[in-house]
Chain A
Amino acid sequence: MTPLIIADRTFQSRFFIGTGKFGSPQIMKDALVASKSELVTVALKRVDQEAEEDDILSYIDQNQMQLLPNTSGARTAKEAVLAAQLAREAMQTNWIKLEIHPDPKYLMPDPIETLLACEELAKLGFIVLPYIHADPVLCKRLEDAGTAAVMPLGSPIGSNQGLKTLDFLSIIIEQSRVPVIVDAGIGTPSDACKAMEIGADAVLINTAIAVSNNPAAIAQAFSTAIEAGRLAYEIGINSTEAKAAGSSPLTEFLTQPY
């Protein structure tokens, strides 16, 4: 498997993981370890620098994993830029997962505010990974704005509905100059595998792991599925046929003597 490169960093694992919704920080830690992931996203709003043992960051092995702070909770570009600056202080990294979802119901990302924030953050020297709808044009606009990757959704966050946006993800992957990370909605290892088979550079999973009966074991299952999908993509998958190819092609008569 080829390694994944985003900005200045090389990843052996193409499995990114989120830290919300876990039953305890220890359960989260066990799942992170089992996932073999090298990139973990943490909401700035959940980081409590004053607390000692409860702080989410103390459960993350930062030698093994790159921290990707996120701006979840921000509703505007202005709030997100401010949050990114705070996160840079709190987590000592200029990487930022840009999340601006003013709609608390489906947590749909705001494309306009996201583009504005991306432009500004890139200028400020951030490595920006924006969470967006699977919109191919927006992806190109974000590239122009200096994004380090794009993170289109498979389906609404936490919905476990899988790759409802599959056809648009394929267009994004076909056109993109930056890594494409499928974020949100992946519910099963087969969803993750499919995303990798169509050529996604990585996937990010949270809910499907956090609310599982056995988060560590399912994290391992996802890890395996992601590797399988990537390997298949790199080897090249034979295109599927709508029906069986006949063993007597229509042009066979040409070889018959007469």
Chain B
Amino acid sequence: MDTTFTSIFKTYSWEEITQKIYSTTPEQVKQSLHKSQRNIIDFLYLLSPTAKPMLEEMAQLSHQITTRRFGKNIQLYAPLYLSNECQNICTYCGFSMDNKLPRRTLTPSEIDIEAKALKAMGFQHALLVTGESNHTVGTPYFLQAVEQLTSLFSQISIEVQPLDYEDYLALHEAKVNAVMVYQETYHQEVYKTYHPKGKKSNFQYRLETPDRIGRAGMHKIGLGVLLGLEDWRVDSFFTALHIDYLQKNYWRTKYSVSFPRLRPATGTVEPNFLMRDDDLLQLICAYRIWNPDLELSLSTREHPLFRDHIIPLGVTAMSAGSKTNPGGYVIAPESLEQFEISDERSPAEIASLIAKKGYQPVWKDWQMEY
């Protein structure tokens, strides 16, 4: 049997990493900033509270590194929610099984209508999203949707429940470019309290999902944690550790990180750990300075002001005009969304904003044949 991330993960403890982060010295931060090659421990120092006074220097460096590696380009994509059916209970999620809301899974003809609406907004890269409902919304459903959409989009990514190796292999062969799978939290003990029911409550199966995706040869794997669930600093260290391991083992694959941040809002769960704007900026810069090749993606969860200013500071992809409910673009615009969108500006507005910042909005950067 191949090794998995579990073998690395179990050699670390949450408490030990917490202690390391909070005992970082200013000298350690400075050294990490001024090195030419950085490792995972440099990342740890850079996301510590001790590094906060050096945020301006971090932002400058992050800008520099990003420009050299990615140029003045921001990729645009949009989520296409296919289903909100879900057999998991996740205490923070709008689509949690115990939430009473009408459930809907788009039919092929509904997918077609929604996809064409996205295409009409200019999108060439689509991210297909579902809850976890293995009997009705499993690999056969995904393959059908992907086959239907390959003629419309030039890049298709998926954000669905963790699947088996054979499923990923089939999806890779069907020309899916990327799979996003977020661990939510690497704090194994509390994971269970956030995910009390459903297949998702199996921490280890989720933890080893990127290994299965990597073995299947997928072009890109997206990782992340739900920022605010537990201490985002510790969780982000484990995310980076995970990426570090994956990059060495699945070296043909690209990696991206997303930054879903829980924000205080009525009717939703209160974040356990508040992550402020300067924290999120610090995290983005720390990722970039540690790993120049990571793709960093920022969604419409974030406020327009933050999104406007983050463009030159490290991110490489942004969503725009997102609807987080199945049918949200055309079929059922009034239905309940998975989470609240903060930046409601249209894709055209976002594209022109990016251009105003001196960056090129990139709609197409893939070829379905790869």
Contacts and interface: CB of A to CB of B under 8 A. Distances in A.
Nearest to A157: B69
B72 A45 contact: no
Contact of B251 (A73, A105, A160): A105
A188 to B, nearest CB: 14
Given A24-B355, A24-B360, A44 B73 contact: no
Contact of A105 (B73, B219, B293, B364): B293
A20 B355 CA distance: 16
Contact of B72 (A23, A79, A102): A23
Contacts of B358: 23-24
Contacts of A103: 251-252
A23 B365 CA distance: 15
B251 A211 contact: no
B363 A48 contact: yes
Nearest to B357: A23
B360 A46 contact: no
A74 interface: yes
A54 B73 CA distance: 14
| Best-buried of A21, A79, A207, A210 by chain B (most CB within 10 Å) | A21
B315 to A, nearest CB: 15
B253 A211 contact: no
B369 A86 contact: yes
Nearest to A25: B360
A83 interface: yes
B100 interface: no
Nearest to B119: A50
A51 interface: yes
B287 to A, nearest CB: 15
Interface string A62-90: 00000000000111000100110010000
A158 interface: yes
Nearest to A44: B367
Interface residues of B, number: 29
Interface residues of A, number: 31
A104 interface: yes
B117 to A, nearest CB: 16
A76 B15 CA distance: 44
Given A46-B364, A46-B365, A74 B370 contact: yes
Q: Dominant SS at the B interface? A: loop
A160 B369 contact: no
A22 interface: yes
Contact of A104 (B68, B252, B364): B252
A204 B360 CA distance: 22
Contact of A211 (B67, B254, B369): B67
A79 B122 CA distance: 26
A48 B155 CA distance: 12
B71 A21 contact: yes
A211 B71 contact: yes
A210 B73 CA distance: 10
Contacts of B355: 24
Given A24-B360, A46-B364, A79 B369 contact: yes
B365 A45 contact: yes
A46 B67 CA distance: 18
A105 B252 CA distance: 9
Contact of A79 (B70, B71, B293, B370): B370
A207 B67 CA distance: 9
B293 A45 contact: no
Interface in B317-356: 355
Contacts of A79: 369-370
B367 A86 contact: yes
A74 B252 CA distance: 11
Contact of B367 (A83, A105, A210): A83
Contacts of B366: 45, 73
13 contacts: A20-B71, A23-B358, A24-B72, A45-B154, A45-B367, A46-B364, A51-B364, A75-B252, A83-B370, A102-B251, A102-B252, A104-B293, A210-B72
Interface of B: 67-73, 122, 124, 154, 219, 247, 251-254, 293, 355, 358-360, 362-367, 369-370
Given A25-B360, A160-B68, 14 more contacts: A21-B71, A21-B72, A22-B360, A45-B364, A46-B362, A48-B363, A51-B122, A75-B370, A83-B369, A86-B367, A103-B251, A103-B252, A158-B68, A210-B71
Interface of A: 20-25, 43-48, 51, 54, 73-75, 79, 82-83, 86, 102-105, 158-160, 207, 210-211
User: 8 nearest interchain CB pairs?
Assistant: A21-B71, A23-B72, A45-B367, A104-B254, A48-B364, A102-B252, A73-B370, A23-B358
